[in-house]
Every structure is written in structure tokens, then in C-alpha cells.
Structure 1
Amino acid sequence: MRFNVFKNTVLLFVLVMISCANKKGDKKPEHLATEHSEKQDILKHVQNDNTIIIGANQTETYLPLLQEKRIGIVANQTSVIFKTDNSYTHLVDSLVALKVNVKTVFAPEHGFRGQADAGEHVKDGIDKKTRVPIISLYGDNKKPKPEQLSNLDLVIFDIQDVGTRFYTYISTLHYVMEACAEQGIQVLILDRPNPNGHYVDGPTLDIKNKSFVGMHPIPVVHGMTIGEYAKMINGEHWLDKGIQCELSVIPVKHYTHQMPYSLPIKPSPNLPNDTSINLYPSLCFFEGTNVNAGRGTNNQFQVFGSPFLNSEVFKYSYTPKSNDGAKYPKHENKLCYGLNLKQTQPLNHLNLQWLIDAYNNTEDKTIFFNNFFIKLAGTDKLQQQIEAGLSAEAIQATWQKNLVKFKQTRRKYLLYN
């Protein structure tokens, strides 16, 4: 979708002139470099309908909040401002060009520019484009330390999420809010649509299984934007000792949860397109099994397979290879049998049948699940139910009571219909 920012051009020019006259700056304007293929993706996905306007594009609203303040930014490759020529500028590059006093960038899983593998340690460093220090929030330092916040007045959080409990950006959100609350620092969310925001589904996390891939008692698919979810974290007192963060949200304009939303920039290396993002809530369960979910191919989270699946039942085959998104994929260089789901119609629910069929057609079922599965599911019941032979419908029926309760709580924090 194309974001209507032309109306802000004159105001931005004035603000830049005022800012340059009143504040010292030592960086020249720099734009996020885009390869030709990336620009073609923007042209394909960003349409001229002048409807949705993301939070980051509403510069006239939040720029006054940043003046005379020392700013930290939690950002990755999706933290961009879309332009009228079908290109984009990274939020950090834009704010530095506007002479905003950006002191620190905090990088989540996959890094600031989004190149790291899932689970790969992200290192601290200096951004080559802006020379702003980068502090990793993935690895040993998931929560900003007091000394890392000591020179900040406000932290911006602007990351494109995909609306699932085990996608770790909302865990980073929790820790950023908690650290800022403890230090009396305001958090500003620049909200973005949720491409899986049209439904709520899945087992609810049992808090005894809390981990970085599931921190709160919510279902797998929560149907909320980052801004709405931040409000829920605050309102439900999920931060340590029930503290609350000083929180502001710049909402998306002209957005509803039922509105389809196509991401023009990959939110992480292994979610390359709309199909993978839509299938991810269902296929991510395979990360807790001996089944490969397409990592090491160009069809990440669009295919699944394993050397241990019955080739008479699963006739599609592929061989995972080391690539940019997965240096060491599961079953690397081994022939895997499974399913190709690239032509699957978009889902509005979790599909458990693929997981159940894979389990039922694995000869040695004792090696199917690994210790990560319960963390992903958020409950030990799902594995037990599959091992007991329950159908997908029977398992999903056991979720309903908690889903009804969650939806009632969720309603209090919604910013969009």
C-alpha cells in the first residue's frame, strides 16, 4: 500500500529549517540504500490507494515530541518512512537528517539492518551510515541496562511485527518498556499494521513456560498491533513488580484489523513474502520438531519436510542448503520429504493438521518433538494431545475458553476495529 506523505512535505521542510537553525548537527542527510529488486518489491506491494498511513510517516505529529530531547530508537530494517516515489528512508537516517539528537540505536533479533539468522548473536557496534552507536537487545543483553539508558530522555519503538506470540519483537518490546519504566523514560510507539491481525487463535501460554519466545498469557496469534500490545502490557501490569511505562502511541491512520496488509520489506530473513507470513503461525510449531520448515531454501515457511517423513505420503521433496537466512539449516544437505504449501489459500486460523499428519507419518515418534516445542506452544498440553491421537478439531476446542477470555481483555486495548 502506498502511504500518502506528500501533504507533509512543506511542513517537514519548515521543521528542518527550524531544527537546523536552533540545534547543532554533524551529519549529512543519508538515505537507506535500496537495490533495484527491493524497489520493484515496493512497487508491487505499495499501491496508490492513499489509505493506510503508518505511524512513522506521520512525522508532523511526533517530530515536535523529539525536539530538545536525547533519543534512543529500537529499530530494524522495517523501520522506514515510505516516500511518494515508491522508495523509502530509514527512520534513523531520516531523524538524523532532521537534526534530531539520536544517541543510540537498539537492535532486536536479526540486527539493526536485519541480516542476522534467527537465534544468531547480534553484536554491538556503530551504524556505518549514521555513526550512531548500536546496542544489541538479542543474546545476553535482552533488556537495556540502566547505563545504556542514562543519556536518554525518550525511546522510540518502531518495528514491523507479524502478530504471533513467539515472534520475539514483542518480547523485546516488553523489556524495553520495563527498563524505561524503571528509569522514568518515556516510550513512543510508531505503530504499524499487523498482517495477521484479522484473527485470534491458538493455545494460551501457561506462565510456567515463560521464555523469550513467549512471555505473556496470550494465544499464539493475538490479533494486535505493536501499539495495542504495548498498551496491554502496561494495562495488565505485566512489567516487573507491576510497574507501568510512560507510553505514547502514534496510531496507524485508516486501518482496521480486517484490512489486508502486504509487507513491502521482509520483517526477518526467513519471512520473505505474504504467504510465508500468513503460514508462519501454523508452521513455526515445526521449529520444535525434527521437521524443517523451509529454512535453507527460498521457500521459508512455505514448505516443510524431513528425512524421517514417509515418502509415500509426502511426495514433495527438497534439500536444505546453507543460505543467507539460515547458515546451518535443519537437515542441511539431506533430502527431505514433505509438502509444498505455496498455493495454499490465506488462512484465518491456525492449521494443526499439517503438524498432526507429520507426527502420524514419522516412523520413530520418540524423536519427533524436541524441548523447544513446549516453549513455542506455551503449554505442554498440545504435545500430549497430539501424542494421544486427538484430532485438530478436538484440540482446538480445548482452546476456546481461554480465547474468549483473552478477546475480552484484548478489547480494552484496541486502537482499531
Structure 2
Amino acid sequence: MKGLLFGLLCAAAGLYAAPLYQKKKDAPAAGIITGADQTDQYISYLKGKRVAVLANPTTIIGNKHLVDSLLKRGVNIVKVFGPEHGFRGNASNGARVGDEKDPVTGINIISLYGAKRKPTAADLADVDLMIYDVQDVGCRFYTNINTLRDLMEACADNDKELMILDRPNPNGYLVDGPILDMRLKSGIGQFPVPIAHGMTIAEFAQMINGEGWTYNKKKCRLRIIPVANYNHDMEYTLPVKPSPNLNTQQSILLYPATCLFEGTILNHGRGTQYPFTVFGSPLLKGKYTFSFTPVSIPGMSETPLYMNKVCYGLDLRNYNVQKLRDTRRINLDWMIELYNAYPDKERFFDRSQSNQIGSIDGLAGVYDFKKQIMAGMSADAIRASWEEGLTAYRKTRSRYLLYP
């Protein structure tokens, strides 16, 4: 009953996905129940409606895809919208995805990461209710929040209600990083929030509405099914990898810091089975003993930086991530260390050799970060430059939180 009342108040976010881990000890924290898993809170509301779902492989009830499960429960799903990586998650990072028919269900899939970024009026003409259920990882440069905003705009323009089945943020404890300078607005930064925003997807949706972040500031009608028994400090291991290159819990927890290496000349694990946890370059030979060799991996990284070349650098696969939780800070020491070790410092932030999206300015969200690293500033001094913006953001964020 408590969950139902909470949900009502919030209303006034074939090929099943491979689990991250098989071991029992890696199951989600005891007691946490995702919005999708609380079917008693929303199934009856869906009956008799023409439903569309924005989904990817993280969209699950138990260990089955939500779309497949809802169809078996008699819900009339008329179409599915797919974000980056596609509905079933078989597209590479940044790859354009086309419309298709799902081979498992026969339902039409409309891509929102190809020719268009949001549903058209025609797409929504035969839809009564839209569902958003995609796992997020709590970072500004992770594109799910962009897709959420685009979907909210489409629903608002066409007077459609959006039901969000909320999920925990695995980095929900963390609010850190510079606030995006909106002059650097891009596909990897759309909102004036820090790198780690510390919100679930439903909370972020409320912020989009409240702060007027849709293009015409029109509010979307939201119906939220919140996570039960959850707060932001809880550890949560994702049962399904959120995208092809975030394929371990370690990579997800390091991601707020290590995605910044996409803006450098280093390989950050693309072309290996452990992206965002190893970093290196052929030019670091002799300075580090750890090495790895990036190769082409379909569905993950077809043409990684330094493909088939031995790279030397840092291995963070066994780094104790509890240290991140203890400090509640993005670790900048790795960036500072590797910059200092790199022999050609003028090219450290040069992305001309890579086909990856995003400069260091766009990823950090400010022009100063690169200059601060190059000037030899300490992590504490760099972080001090963020504090004024973070203090204001935390006050804004507090207005939209659903969980302690």
C-alpha cells in the first residue's frame, strides 16, 4: 500500500540480455525491488491501453525482458522504441541504429538512435501510454538521460502520459564533478549538472520537468513507479550490463572517472573485454609493466585505438571501489598520473587518432579541466574549482529526490 500511495503521488522513468555475473553473491542488494518488478503497481493500469515501450536489454522483470513478460500478461504493446545500442543491445557504441521488426515478438521497433532522436506525432498516434524502463548509471555523459528528455518532449507535445519504471542508480551515492558549461552542450552533455548527478532516472525526469529543460519548457505528464526499499547510499549490482562496454560492475563504478579517458590519446580498454578499467598506450612502454593489446570486437569496438598494438599503463580491474564510496569523489589521480607519465604531453588530449566521440572539454563539461591537468594542479585544487557549482546543484537536486 505504501508503494502504491508513493506511485500515485509521483504521478500528480530469443535474445535476453546476458547477466553481468552468474555468482549468487553478485545479486542485487537484498530488499531492493525495481519499479518494473512491482507489477501489482501498474499492470492493471496498462490493461485496455495501447502501450509503447522505450527499452533495451536492461528492461527486465526478474530475468525476462519486460516487453516479452508484459505481452504474456496480456498487455497490448503496439510498438517499441530503441535507444543507443538498440532494443536488444546488439549495436556498438555510437553506431546508428535502424528501424526493424523484433525477431522474438514481431513487434515493430523504432530506433531513436538513427535518423531521429524522438518519436514523431505519427509514431505516437496509436499510443495511449508510453513506458520508459532503461537502466542508467548516473553520469552526465551517459546518453540515456538525453533520450529521456527527448521522449518527454514528444509525450508532452502529443499529450501522452509517460510511465517511468524506476531503477536504482549504481552510482547514486556520488554527486561530483564540474557543472556543464552550456557552451559545451553536445551529445555527451545536455544538462547543467555535474559528471555524477546522483539521481535515479525518475528523479532526473522530475528535474527535467521542474527546471524546464524541454525545448519549449512544456511539462510531461509523469506516472512513476518508484524503487521499493531503496536509498541513494545503497550498493546495487546491476543484474544486466547497461551497455556493451560497461560489462562489469567494476567498470560501472569506475565510469564517472574513467570515461574521461575517452578525451585523451590513451586506449581506455576498448578492444578488450574490460573497458573503462585498463588504460594505456604503446608510448608508455618502460614506464608500466602491465600491458594489453586492443583488438577488434564486433558489438563492442570494431576499430579501437592502437588496434593490435601492445599498450602499457594502469590496470584498475582489482581496484577497491569501496575507496570511491568512502571519499564520495571522482578519482582524478589516475588522470594526473598518466598525464605526467606520458612522454608527449602536448598530444595527451589529442583525439585525432581515435574514432571515439567526445573531446576532454565536452566530457569534463568545462574548458578549465584540461588546462588544470596540464598546469600540474592537484586533485584537491581542481575539485575546489567545482564547489560553488556543486553547492548550487545539490540544492536544486534536493527538490526532485524520491529517495533519502
Distance 2:287 2:395 in 1: 42
**SS of residue matched to 1:187:** strand
- What residue is the counterpart of 2:402 in the other structure? 415
**SS of residue matched to 1:248:** strand
Aligned partner of 1:318 among 283, 292, 300: 292
Identity of aligned residues (%): 48
> Taking structure 2 as the reference length, what is the TM-score of the superposition?
0.90
- What residue is the counterpart of 1:75 in the other structure? 55
> For 1:174-185, what aligned pairs fall within 5 Å after superposition?
174-185=149-160
Distance 1:48 1:216 in 2: 30
- What residue is the counterpart of 1:220 in the other structure? 195
Distance 1:373 1:145 in 2: 33
Compared CA separation, residues 306 and 39, structure 1 to 2 (3 A): closer
Distance 1:156 1:47 in 2: 23
2:35 aligned with 1:59: no
Q: Is residue 47–residue 74 contact of structure 2 (8 Å, CA) maintained in 1?
A: no
2:185 aligned with 1:210: yes
Q: Is residue 321–residue 329 contact of structure 1 (8 Å, CA) maintained in 2?
A: yes
**SS of residue matched to 1:245:** coil
Q: Is residue 29–residue 236 contact of structure 2 (8 Å, CA) maintained in 1?
A: no
Q: 1:255 Cα deviation (Å)? A: 0.4
Q: Is residue 41–residue 264 contact of structure 1 (8 Å, CA) maintained in 2?
A: no
Aligned partner of 1:46 among 7, 16, 27: 27
Q: Is residue 28–residue 237 contact of structure 2 (8 Å, CA) maintained in 1?
A: no
Q: 1:253 Cα deviation (Å)? A: 0.3
- CA offset digits 1:151-203 (Å, max 9, x no partner): 11111000111100001111100100011111111111000000000110011
Aligned partner of 2:384 among 394, 397, 416: 397
Q: 1:100 Cα deviation (Å)? A: 1.3
> Taking structure 1 as the reference length, what is the TM-score of the superposition?
0.87
Compared CA separation, residues 233 and 111, structure 1 to 2 (3 A): same
Compared CA separation, residues 410 and 34, structure 1 to 2 (3 A): closer
Distance 2:199 2:257 in 1: 17
Code of the aligned partner of 2:97: V
2:332 aligned with 1:352: yes
Distance 1:44 1:136 in 2: 36
Compared CA separation, residues 34 and 386, structure 1 to 2 (3 A): closer
Compared CA separation, residues 34 and 316, structure 1 to 2 (3 A): closer
Q: Which has the higher contact order (CA 8 A, sep 6+)?
A: 2
Compared CA separation, residues 415 and 48, structure 1 to 2 (3 A): closer
> For 1:175-324, what aligned pairs fall within 5 Å after superposition?
175-309=150-284, 311-324=285-298
Code of the aligned partner of 2:38: Q
- What residue is the counterpart of 1:362 in the other structure? 342
Report which stretch shifted further, 344-353 or 105-114. 344-353
Give RMSD over aligned pairs.
Answer: 1.7
Gaps of 5+ in 1: 1-30, 83-87
Distance 2:21 2:170 in 1: 20
- What residue is the counterpart of 2:11 in the other structure? none
- What residue is the counterpart of 1:382 in the other structure? 369
- What residue is the counterpart of 1:92 in the other structure? 67
Code of the aligned partner of 1:138: Y
Report which stretch shifted further, 359-368 or 98-107. 359-368
Distance 2:54 2:16 in 1: 20
Code of the aligned partner of 1:66: L
Code of the aligned partner of 2:176: D
* Structure 1 segments of 4+ aligned residues over 6 angstroms from their partners: none
Q: Is residue 278–residue 317 contact of structure 2 (8 Å, CA) maintained in 1?
A: yes
**SS of residue matched to 2:169:** coil
Gaps of 5+ in 2: 1-13, 352-357
**SS of residue matched to 1:104:** strand
- CA offset digits 1:187-231 (Å, max 9, x no partner): 110000000001100111011111121110000001100011101
